[in-house]
Amino acid sequence: MEWLNYHHLLYFWHVAQEGSLTRACEKLRLSPSTVSGQIRRLEEAIGRKLFSKSGRNLVMSEDGLIVFRYAEEIFSLGRELMDTLNDRPVGKPLRITIGVADVVPKLVAWRLIQSALKLSEPVQLICRENKPDQLLTELSQHHVDVILTDAPANPQVKVKVFNHQLGKCGIVFLAVKALSGKYSQGFPGSLDGAPLLLPTENTSLRRSLDQYFEGLGVHPRIIGEFEDSALLNAFGQEGLGIFPVPEIILAEVKRQHNVYMVGCAPEVYEYFYAITVERRIKHPAAIAICESARLMLSESSKME
């Protein structure tokens, strides 16, 4: 049976937390030679390199990141054990780390995630926003439990993951009162030459909208392109152009930004996916998010 020296693991954990051997030694009140020697023995025992140098700091390797996540759990359980034995309240919540692709509107992400907070047991959410490909790397390293995004995983990314389609919703166009009154008449033909604020070309929604405009034979005047949907909505609120919004957050956007309906795009949909490393999702909070999202998006589709 293979044995793990938990003193060595503890020293590694402190250095990983601090990102510096010097700072970790000050906290542990041990000499750098002692701590570095113990970490070297841990590396020899597991047959993996845990750190590399970056200037004056230490950066964890891929194996180091995996060991660090396990060390976090191990020492967290140790603290919980002592709290239990000393009759201190534990109340450890169910933890889930969710990667939100930066192309997903913040209000949509909130609508999809909030169901996890309604579970009978307390849940601790950790949300990380990033580019989809970068989130896939974090998922493969078990830094996130599930990714919420608008498209399946890129097959060119060499990461074994599973796509779980949550559903789709329609797209509506909104604008301030003056623009709405001007362009709602004769929609969607009225979009020809109309000022538009759109998501950037790297999004699935933008590609669908471009195909929609091409099919209609209209050529909007694109005032701005935005990666951040909240920023796009803010520009729309200032009356700089008409902008698209997923139907499931229509009420919230109209209320928050004091904007009005211009028209619906019945041929345009925004799709949403959950991506995991598991073929069958097992995390209770992830299951709650996916089930709630499918129900919500299904109801949205029926309203179109």
Q: Which two tokens stand for residue 218?
A: 């209209």
pLDDT value of residue 268: 93
pLDDT value of residue 90: 55
Is pLDDT above 80 for 26? yes
pLDDT value of residue 291: 92
| Nearest in space to 125 (alpha carbons), one of 304, 257, 270, 284 | 284
d(CA 24, CA 116): 36
Per the prediction, the chain carries an average pLDDT of: 88
pLDDT digits (tens, 9 = 90+) for 194-223: 999 999 998 889 999 999 999 999 999 999
Domains of the chain: 6-85 (1.10.10.10), 94-165+272-302 (3.40.190.10), 168-271 (3.40.190.10)
pLDDT digits (tens, 9 = 90+) for 239-261: 999 999 999 999 999 999 999 99
DSSP one-letter string for 198-229: EE-TTSHHHHHHHHHHHHHT---EEEEEES-H
pLDDT digits (tens, 9 = 90+) for 141-168: 788 999 999 989 877 777 788 999 999 9
Band (pLDDT 50/70/90 cuts) for residue 17 is confident
